[in-house]
Amino acid sequence: MRYLPLTPDDRFAMLAVVGAPDIGALFTDVPDAARLSAPVDLPMHMGEIEVERALAGLAAKNRSGAQGPFFCGAGAYRHHVPSSVDHLIQRSEFLTSYTPYQPEIAQGTLQALFEFQSQVAALTGMEVANASMYDGSTAAAEAVMMAHRVTRRPKAVLSGGLHPQYADSIATLAHVAGVGVARQAAAVDGEAEVVAAIDAETACVVVQTPNVFGTASDLTRIAEAAHAAGALMIVVVTEAVSLGLLKSPGEMGADIVAAEGQSIGNALNFGGPYVGLFATRERFIRQAPGRLCGETVDADGKRGFVLTLSTREQHIRRDKATSNICTNSGLCALAFTIHMTLLGETGLRRLAAVNHAQARKLAAALAAIEGVEVLTPRFFNEIAVRLPQPAAWVVERLAGAGVIAGVPFSRLSPEAHLDDVLLLAATELTTDADIAALAKELSGVLA
């Protein structure tokens, strides 16, 4: 067995030192009724060749994004990840290390986390950020819990522009935390509606930009209204690249930002692992969930970094912790940081501009198709269109023609009855030829 270093001789010698007659003796605490007498009913061990054949065979049954025109978004975006990013995160010292609890021999991870927190704070325009959450949706749910702790109020208002699966994730936690959820009807300009729903019971409003329909909007007035009512504004961002072009949540008055960082440094991976970005105001930091990396000095006075403020966390505070999160998305956060370092201010702005430019071409091409209505007024790299046919049906037809045409809104929220709405995203990987192919095939299907 290639992963097991002990030889029969080793085992024999070690049992002698242990003073056990045989390996079975070490398992005597297991009740006989629960001890398996035979191996479980699964295949026996396989070599690399067989395992690779089997799994590569399954992988080959999937249609990867590179195989043709591709327009899916809706919270997960197909961006280019520089080759050096994936090379670096596979270095043994990053890949096979644990959470940095021994800072003297974990400065590599810790300094990278400090850089991550600093980048996320700058990107979101907030004062502080944590060392990552599982993903954007769980970050959003934690943000609502945090707003509840901060304001001690029982209600959360979710805009109709919020990604439905994010709203579902929030609702799950809110329910057991006794927080009421006022969930507004899905609407392309959902953010416009939330102000009316804010009241003295409101702990927070959760708004998204660009929202699930791709709509980019200025949230300043919502922040003012929320603050006036003593509530917090939580801003969700599912496309981190948009922050290279659009006004930051911080600039618009956000109290907490819960974002999906996948777009920077991380592949689509069929939905995970991703990396949740969580940023807030300095004064709320002791109510924040998750790990925090802080600067300090060593015994010689040299600068170094450690995990800090852990009195908020489960391993110290246990049932009084701000969250139960332990393992987070360390390596995905590292990928984010490395990619962001490669981009820098200049590269990120350029990347965002290219994404927007391609989306404008996409929108123009679709608008020109008979029967297709572009619904999104102002967008970053994603738009919603209304089709004369059910979007799911159209998408299946186009998939047959080799074009992955985007995400039918019904896939996210059947109950919204927006079956004719299709979400399409463009990125720096979307070529003009891809857009032309989509337009051609779509016209064909609708003709």
Partner 1 sequence: MSLQTIGRPTRAEAIVETAPPTLTGGRGLLQHEPLIFELGGWEKTGVDLAEPDLDASDLGDLVRAAPIGLPGLSEPETLRHYVRLSQQNHAIDLALYPLGSCTMKHNPRLNEKLARLPGFADIHPLQPQSTVQGALAMMDMLAHWLKTLTGMPAVALSPKAGAHGELCGLLAIRAAHEARGDARKRVLVPTSAHGTNPATAAFVGYAVEEIAQTAAGRVDLADLEARLGPDVAAVMLTNPNTCGLFERDMIEIAARTHAAGAYLYCDGANFNAIVGKVRPADLGVDAMHINLHKTFSTPHGGGGPGAGPVVLSEALAPYAPAPWVSHGLDGFTLADHAPEGSASFGRLSAFHGQMGMYVRALAYMMSHGADGLAQVAEDAVLNANYVKARLGGVMTAPFGGYCMHEALFDDQWLDGTGVATLDFAKALIDEGFHPMTMYFPLVVHGAMLIEPTETEPKAEIDRFCDAVLALAAAAKAGDVDRFKGAPFHAPLRRLDETQAARKPKLRWRPEEPPTVAAE
Ligand X SMILES: Cc1ncc(COP(=O)(O)O)c(C=O)c1O
Interface ranges with ligand X (CB under 6 A): 326-327
Asked if 216 contacts 363 with a C-beta cutoff of 8 angstroms, the reply is no
Out of 230, 294, 388, 444, the only residue in the binding site for partner 1 (CB under 8 A) is: 294
Q: Which residues pair with 132 in a beta bridge?
A: none
- The CB-of-99 to ligand X minimum distance in angstroms stands at 8
Decide: helix, strand or coil at residue 236. Answer: strand
Q: Tokens 């007498």 identify what position?
A: 37
From the list ligand X, a copy of itself, partner 1, none, partner contacted by residue 360 (C-beta under 5 to 8 A by kind): partner 1
Closest of 326, 261, 296, 315 to residue 116, by C-alpha = 261
From the list partner 1, a copy of itself, ligand X, none, partner contacted by residue 278 (C-beta under 5 to 8 A by kind): none
- Secondary structure, 3-state, 164-231: HHHHHHHHHHHHHHCCEEEECCCCCCHHHHHHHHCCCCEEEEEEECCCCCCECCCCHHHHHHHHHCCC
Which x/- pattern over 85-124 shows residues binding partner 1 (rule: CB under 8 A)? Answer: -xxxxxxxxxxxxxxxxxxxxxxxx-xxxxx-xxx-xxx-
- The CB-of-174 to partner 1 minimum distance in angstroms stands at 10
Closest of 350, 370, 355, 348 to residue 424, by C-alpha = 355
Q: What is the dihedral of CA 184, 189, 195, 198, to 10 degrees?
A: 20
Out of 28, 64, 90, 296, the only residue in the binding site for a copy of itself (CB under 8 A) is: 90
Q: Tokens 């945090």 identify what position?
A: 146
- The CB-of-31 to partner 1 minimum distance in angstroms stands at 6
Out of 21, 388, 396, 417, the only residue in the binding site for partner 1 (CB under 8 A) is: 396
- The CB-of-232 to partner 1 minimum distance in angstroms stands at 20
Q: At what angle do helices 136-151 and 164-177 cross, to 10 degrees?
A: 40
Per CB under 8 A, 189 contacts partner 1: no
Task: Identify residues 402-431 at the interface with partner 1 (CB under 8 A).
Answer: 404, 407, 411-412, 414, 428
Out of 35, 91, 317, 378, the only residue in the binding site for a copy of itself (CB under 8 A) is: 91
Which x/- pattern over 340-379 shows residues binding a copy of itself (rule: CB under 8 A)? Answer: --x-------------------------------------
- Closer by beta carbon to a copy of itself, 342 or else 392: 342
Task: Identify residues 62-81 at the interface with a copy of itself (CB under 8 A).
Answer: 66, 80
Burial (CB < 10 A; 0-12, 13-18, 19+), residue 122, is middle
Task: Identify residues 324-383 at the interface with partner 1 (CB under 8 A).
Answer: 324-332, 334, 338, 340-351, 353-354, 356-358, 360-361, 378
Task: Identify residues 274-313 at the interface with a copy of itself (CB under 8 A).
Answer: none
Q: Tokens 């819960």 identify what position?
A: 258
Exposure letters 34-51 (e unless 16+ CB within 10 A, then b): eeeeeeeeeeeeeeeeee
Integer Cα distance of 131 and 113 in angstroms: 6
- The CB-of-358 to a copy of itself minimum distance in angstroms stands at 12
Burial (CB < 10 A; 0-12, 13-18, 19+), residue 216, is buried
**Omega cis (within 30) before 273:** yes
Out of 197, 267, 429, 446, the only residue in the binding site for a copy of itself (CB under 8 A) is: 429
From the list ligand X, a copy of itself, partner 1, none, partner contacted by residue 429 (C-beta under 5 to 8 A by kind): a copy of itself
Q: Which residues bind a copy of itself (CB under 8 A)?
A: 2, 48-49, 56, 66, 80, 82-83, 87, 90-92, 342, 428-429
